[in-house]
């Protein structure tokens, strides 16, 4: 079924972007793929992003030229691999404006980073009767570890309140974050609502009470310029696969003094300084938290992802996503019977739009769109408590990135109108 675009001059729409989309799209070979004879329209970037050739080639280069284990080898390949691996750590430091490279810990992803903090700092510092403050919009990865910790330590989970548009009620937050609060764990950008939370203000509230703050940066770090020093967070966790890099690589940043006081998370490999029969001495930061053989090739390839985004400029990435989100919100509102969740103002949200269409289950909608070559996400998005608050079983979700075009938004709208017809609901303008 042919999907016609709505506007006659897509080049005018593309001019709204601060990025050279045509040039960028040439860097992503997967975007040239067809699905069932239809052009691929990839709108599932909140789940994972596509990878540019520079990242793919860097990974291939590692395995073809200097594949070796890192840190302890004295042969040339090991020295080269170590230099590249540790060079990525410095690249990350600059990217997030951390003070020292020893604050950068490589993990398998955001989930592992959060679990590391909950299992080390949490067990060391959270006592019976203490409070762990979360938001209702947290991904399960930033909820379940704290549930487990609260049960183990006889602590209490306290949830911030949201406004009608899905923003944190800061007046209520000032009252909820109190003397018993030990940690505030909150996403910087919701993977459902798109809401961008005021981390600096939340950090100030936490620190005023002697608490710390952990930031889930999985959805924010790939899309907007951040400074961990300026936001005054204590921990920030994020994943590389959501920002053009490989899967299986994440970063946990933490303030040096806090990290030094934490016990190791896992044992063996590079986190060891020396071992006797009776006891062991652990390595210095950051290697104290990097047990076993690391994901060397993917960490090295991740440097190319950071460099790619840095060359584009995160301010330009953010500007593009604001404009394409603004355009998409306006187009989606043309459809009668559509429910859109999250802030109305695109400046207050990321490039994530969750929605439902009347009388169409989001899974059915996702399948119909897939048949048209359009990839979105459908379900609860690992945010079941939030779905309950929204009084829905799940949503459809379109999420944008640097290679998405305004024409693709038009194709999404055309496919949604076709879905409306297929499902027998023709109430659209």
Residues 80 and 188 reside in one and the same domain:
yes
pLDDT at 3: 29
pLDDT at 336: 87
pLDDT at 425: 47
Task: Classify residue 76: in a domain, yes or no.
Answer: yes
The domain in which residue 331 lies consists of 10-32+313-422
pLDDT at 9: 38
Residues 306 and 356 reside in one and the same domain:
no
12-61 pLDDT, tens per residue?
465 577 899 999 999 999 999 999 899 999 999 999 999 999 999 999 99
Burial 281-293 (b: 16+ CB within 10 A, else e): ebbebbbbbbbee
Residues 305 and 317 reside in one and the same domain:
no
285-323 pLDDT, tens per residue?
999 999 999 999 999 999 999 999 999 999 999 999 999
Could you write out the DSSP letters of every residue in 114-144? Answer: HHHHIIIIIHHH--TT-EEEE-TT--GGGTH
* Listed residues 311, 346, 371: the one ending a domain: 311
pLDDT at 420: 84
Is-contact 416 366, C-beta < 8 A? no
Task: Classify residue 331: in a domain, yes or no.
Answer: yes
Q: pLDDT higher for 163 or 72?
A: 163
Mean pLDDT rounded to a whole number for the chain:
94
Nearest to 404 by CA among 12, 19, 1, 2: 19
pLDDT at 378: 96
Average pLDDT on 339-346 reads: 96
Give the count of domains, the chain. Answer: 2
**CATH number of residue 237's parent domain:** 3.40.640.10
Task: Classify residue 40: in a domain, yes or no.
Answer: no
Average pLDDT on 392-416 reads: 97
Residues 387 and 300 reside in one and the same domain:
no
Burial 41-61 (b: 16+ CB within 10 A, else e): bbbbbbeebbbbebbbebbeb
Rounded to 10 deg, the angle between the 296-312 and 53-65 helix axes is 150
Residues 302 and 331 reside in one and the same domain:
no
Residues 193 and 271 reside in one and the same domain:
yes
Residues 179 and 196 reside in one and the same domain:
yes
pLDDT at 130: 98
**Active-site amino acid positions:** 382
346-356 pLDDT, tens per residue?
999 999 999 99
Task: Classify residue 189: in a domain, yes or no.
Answer: yes
Could you write out the DSSP letters of every residue in 332-362? Answer: HTTSTTEEEES-SSGGGB-SEEEEEETTB-H
**How many percent of the chain have pLDDT more than 90?**
91
* Listed residues 311, 334, 354: the one ending a domain: 311
Average pLDDT on 160-168 reads: 97
* Listed residues 270, 293, 311: the one ending a domain: 311
Task: Indicate the pLDDT class of residue 333, thresholds 50, 70 and 90.
Answer: very high
Residues 304 and 321 reside in one and the same domain:
no
Judged against a pLDDT cut of 80, whether residue 69 lies above it is answered with yes
pLDDT at 225: 97
Number of Cβ atoms within 10 Å of the Cβ of 311: 9
What are the residues whose beta carbons fall under 8 Å from the beta carbon of 61, sequence distance 6 or more?
none
256-288 pLDDT, tens per residue?
999 999 999 999 999 999 999 999 999 999 999
**CATH number of residue 406's parent domain:** 3.90.1150.10
Please give the DSSP secondary-structure letter assigned to residue 293: S
Task: Classify residue 46: in a domain, yes or no.
Answer: no
Task: Classify residue 49: in a domain, yes or no.
Answer: no
Phi, psi of 392 (to 5 degrees): -135, 160
Q: Is 149 helix (H, G, I), strand (E, B) or coil?
A: helix
């Amino acid at each position: 079924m042919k999907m016609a675009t709505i506007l006659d001059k897509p080049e005018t729409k593309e001019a709204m972007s601060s990025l050279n989309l045509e040039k960028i799209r040439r860097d992503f070979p997967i975007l040239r793929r067809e699905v069932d004879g239809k052009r691929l329209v990839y709108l599932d970037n909140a789940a994972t992003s596509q990878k540019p050739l520079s990242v793919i080639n860097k990974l291939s280069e590692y395995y073809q030229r200097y594949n070796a284990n890192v840190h302890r080898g004295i042969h040339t390949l090991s020295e080269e691999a170590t230099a590249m691996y540790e060079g990525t750590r410095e690249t990350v430091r600059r990217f997030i404006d951390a003070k020292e490279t020893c604050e950068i810990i490589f993990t398998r992803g955001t989930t592992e980073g959060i679990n590391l903090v909950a299992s080390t700092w949490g067990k060391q510092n959270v006592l019976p009767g203490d409070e762990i403050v979360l938001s209702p919009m947290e991904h399960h990865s930033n909820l379940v570890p704290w549930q487990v910790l609260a049960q183990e330590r006889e602590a209490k989970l306290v949830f911030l309140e949201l406004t009608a548009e899905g923003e944190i009620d800061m007046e209520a937050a000032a009252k909820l974050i109190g003397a018993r609060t030990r940690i505030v764990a909150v996403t910087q950008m919701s993977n459902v609502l798109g809401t961008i939370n005021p981390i600096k203000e939340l950090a100030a509230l936490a620190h005023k009470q002697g608490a710390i703050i952990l930031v889930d940066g999985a959805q924010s770090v790939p899309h907007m310029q951040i400074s961990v020093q300026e936001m005054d967070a204590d921990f920030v966790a994020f994943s590389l696969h959501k920002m053009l890099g490989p899967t299986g690589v994440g970063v946990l940043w933490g303030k040096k003094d806090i990290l030094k006081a934490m016990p190791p998370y896992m044992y063996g490999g590079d986190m060891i300084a020396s071992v006797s029969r009776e006891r062991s001495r652990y390595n210095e930061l950051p290697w104290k938290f990097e047990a076993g053989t690391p994901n060397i090739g993917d960490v090295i390839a991740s440097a190319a992802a950071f460099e790619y985004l840095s060359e584009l400029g995160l301010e330009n990435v953010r500007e593009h996503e604001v404009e394409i989100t603004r355009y998409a919100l306006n187009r989606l509102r043309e459809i009668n019977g559509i429910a859109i969740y999250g802030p109305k103002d695109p400046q207050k949200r990321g490039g994530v739009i969750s929605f439902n269409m009347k009388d169409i289950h989001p899974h059915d909608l996702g399948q119909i769109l897939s048949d048209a070559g359009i990839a979105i996400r459908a379900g609860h998005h690992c945010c079941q408590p939030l779905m309950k608050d929204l009084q829905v079983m799940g949503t459809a979700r379109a999420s944008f990135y640097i290679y998405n075009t305004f024409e693709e938004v038009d194709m999404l709208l055309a496919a949604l109108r076709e879905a409306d017809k297929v499902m027998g609901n023709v109430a659209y303008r």
